[in-house]
A and B are shown apart, each in its own frame.
Chain A
Amino acid sequence: MTKNLKYGLILLSICAVCAFALALTNSITAPVIRMQDEVNQKKALEAVSNGWTIGTRSEVTDQAYVTYTIDLLDNSSVAGYVVGLSTPGYGGQMTLVASYTNSGEMLFAQLLTHNETPGLGKKAEQEGYMDKFKGSGTEKAVPTSKSMLSDADAQAVSGSSVTFTAIAKAIAAGSEYVKNLGGAR
């Protein structure tokens, strides 16, 4: 009994010191990380806004992929939307932002956070990866399988089909959501 208590106290002491070290590190790093996230989010919004004015944000809670929308204003009328998307990738949940016209045509998209495999799914954050979805959503369907891509694009997503499909489904869902809004707000 005394021996078990002693072992418990030793483990408790080690855990307490580790918890203190982690709390201290977190108190230093958390504000820096939060600031970086805000800057990245702002940069991403500006990158996908198509030069239009970024308007008000509305949270969306009843959709599978869509988490929020932001109006894009052209001379104070709604010209399109930025849609915040969340989709399950190979390494866990991924978040991205995509902009659409009122008719649901995708303009630009950018990956925000993910845990995809370096060298494979992680390629989705590279410049140009989202180009394969540009202009899709209306007359041209969003490519949700590799067979809908050109040979070069299919080669580029080789080895990371889960990531590609997850992003494609989210972009397609965003397009559908915007079509239903139809510039109504």
Chain B
Amino acid sequence: MKANIKELTKGIFKENPVFVIVLGLCPVLGVSTQVSNAIGMSAGVMFVLLFSNIIISALRKVIPGSIHIPAYIVVIASLVTITEMVMHAFVPSVYSALGVYLPLIVVNCIILGRAEAFASKNSVFDSILDAIGMSIGFALGLTLIALIRELFGSGTITLFPMGNFGGGINIPWFYDNPIRVMALAPGALLIMGYLKAFFDWNTSRKKDK
């Protein structure tokens, strides 16, 4: 039980895919302009990572080592395409919000990285726990960067519209005094750098103890 909990939680802090393993940075930097984009992207990654881990773990004894990369890519690309088609048909607003970043999940290093490093060597149950933990870690990292960028860069927090709620929250003072660079690509790199430094400092501090 303790080992299962460890498997589940390692992706959140100790092996956080964004700040510790530093995987999947392209979508992290590109999509983190708004909190709603970060949440949508995280949901897509969670679905694809969960099912790719399950399928690859289930087929780990069938797929020989020399053809594992093309086999994994076919599985991952198919799952992403299925996600894209289902979202387009049944949740068009989320599909529209994610735009070009949805098909880009195919090349997200976290998906292939976890398939290669974990799912291909472990049981289906452990792979499910790994996928959930890593997805939560990715979602937290991405949403944190998006929250900071949107707050400082635009003075807003954009969520999904629901009922009478339009989806956008304007934050006083920040809205009137935005730091535009935060909404642009250099802002993403700056925030990523500071947060990575914080995670590294926190890890080394724990080791020293």
Contact = CB atoms under 8 A, between A and B. Distances in A.
* B is a partner of A: yes
Interface of A: 6-7, 10-11, 14-15, 18, 21-22, 25-26, 28-30, 32-33, 36, 91-92, 114-120, 122, 125, 158-159
**Chain A contact residues: helix, strand, loop or mixed:** helix
A28 to B, nearest CB: 7
Interface residues of B, number: 34
**Chain B contact residues: helix, strand, loop or mixed:** helix
B67 A18 contact: no
7 contacts: A14-B59, A14-B71, A22-B78, A26-B85, A29-B86, A118-B33, A119-B34
A25 B82 contact: yes
B75 A119 contact: no
A159 B71 CA distance: 39
B157 to A, nearest CB: 13
B43 interface: no
A119 B66 contact: no
A8 B43 CA distance: 34
A32 B90 contact: yes
B71 A10 contact: yes
B193 interface: no
Given A10-B63, A14-B74, A116-B99, A29 B89 contact: yes
A152 to B, nearest CB: 14
